[in-house]
Amino acid sequence: MTSRTPFEALVRERRVLGEHLVRLVLQAPEGFVSTGVPDEWVALTLPGQFQSRYYTVRSVADGLLILDVVVHEQGLVTEWAQTDCVGDRVGLSAPKGSFELPADAGWVLLAGDLTGLPAMARIAESLGSMPVQIHAEVPDGPMPDYVAAPVTWHDAPSGTSNLAAIVRDLLWPEGPGYFWMAGESAQMRDIRRHARHVLGWDTRHYDVMGYWSGSRGRQTRQVDPGPVYARGKAMGRSDEQIWADYDAARATSEEVVQRPSREERA
Ligand SMILES: Cc1cc2nc3c(=O)[nH]c(=O)nc-3n(C[C@H](O)[C@H](O)[C@H](O)COP(=O)(O)OP(=O)(O)OC[C@H]3O[C@@H](n4cnc5c(N)ncnc54)[C@H](O)[C@@H]3O)c2cc1C
C-alpha cells in the first residue's frame, strides 16, 4: 500500500469473458467507498510493482469489487491478467468518476471501444428511464449479455481503433443531451475537436476521455491522471478541460519517449 494506492485487495476469482476480456473479482477492501459516479475508476497496482494502470469499477457490491480487464497484445496488466492471479494482492487507489449528466439532458449517447465497455455498461444501468444509445467498437463481435441496454456493435480493427470515424457519422438526437466517450487517445482528441468546433457543443454536454494510447510502445513511465485530475480540480477546471490537459501531457510524454537518444542521433 502507498499513499496513491491506499487500499489492498485480494483477487478472489478470475473469469474469462471473451478472447480479449478477463473479469477480476476482488474482495472489496475495508473502507473502500464508491463515489456512485457510474464511470468511476481506480488505479490498479500489481504485486511488486510501483506503476499503476487505470480500470473502471464495473461494480462494487456485497463485499466484491469487479474490474474487467482488456487483454491486448502486450502490457503489464495484460500479461498478469492472463496468469492464474487468484490469491494475489493488488493495490487500489480511491475511486474517482467523471460522468456528470447536465440537468437539461434529454438523452445520453455513449461510445467506446472494449476498454470503455465496462463504464458504458455501468452508466447504462444507472440511467433509469433516460433514453440511451450505445456504440461499442469490439474485437470479437457482439456481447449482448454484457450490457443491459441495446448496443450498436462495430468491429474493431486489429489492435487499434476507428471510433472517431464512427462517431462523426452519427445522427444526433434532437435537443440537449449528454455524450460520453472513451477509448484510444488520438480518436478522442479528434472527437473532442469535432464536438467543440463542428457540433458547437458546450463542454457540459460531453465528456470524451483517452483511456489508452495506440502510438506508444511499452514503457516504464506513464503520465498519471491522478495528479493531473487533482491539479485541474484545484484550479476549477471542468472535467472536459482536465481530460484535454491529460491527453496533452500524454502526447508530450510520448514525444519524449520516442525522441531518439543523443547516441542514436549521433
Ligand atoms: C479512467 C480510465 C478507465 C479505464 N478503464 C478500463 C477498463 O475498465 N478496462 C480496461 O481494460 N482498460 C481500461 N482503461 C485503459 C487501461 O488503463 C489501458 O489500456 C492500460 O494501458 C492497460 O495496461 P497494460 O498494462 O495492459 O498495458 P500497458 O503496459 O499500459 O501498455 C502496453 C502497450 O499496449 C498498448 N495498449 C494499451 N492499452 C491498449 C488497448 N486497450 N488496446 C490495444 N493496445 C493497448 C500501449 O499503447 C502500449 O504500447 C482505462 C483507462 C482510464 C484512464
- The full set of domains in the chain, from first to last, is 7-92 (2.40.30.10), 108-255 (3.40.50.80)
- pTM for the predicted model, two decimal places: 0.86
Other beta carbons within 10 angstroms of residue 214's beta carbon come to: 13
Instruction: Provide the 8-state DSSP code for 231.
Output: H
Per-residue tens of pLDDT for the chain, all 266 residues: 666 679 999 999 999 999 999 999 999 999 999 999 999 999 999 998 889 999 999 999 999 999 999 999 999 999 999 999 999 999 999 999 999 999 999 999 999 999 999 999 999 999 999 999 999 999 999 999 999 999 999 999 988 999 999 999 999 999 999 999 999 999 999 999 999 999 999 999 999 999 999 986 544 445 666 667 777 777 888 777 877 887 777 766 544 333 333 333 22
Q: Whose CA is nearest to atom 40 of ligand 1?
A: 72
| Secondary structure (H, E, C), 37-74 | CCCCEEEEECCCCCCEEEEECCEEECCEEEEEEECCCC
Q: How far is the CA of 101 from the centre of ligand 1 (A)?
A: 26
Rounded to a whole number of angstroms, the distance between the first and last alpha carbons of the chain is: 43
In whole angstroms, what is the distance from residue 177 CA to residue 199 CA?
13
Q: Is the CB of 177 under 6 A from ligand 1?
A: no
98 lines ligand 1 (CB under 6 A): no
118 lines ligand 1 (CB under 6 A): yes
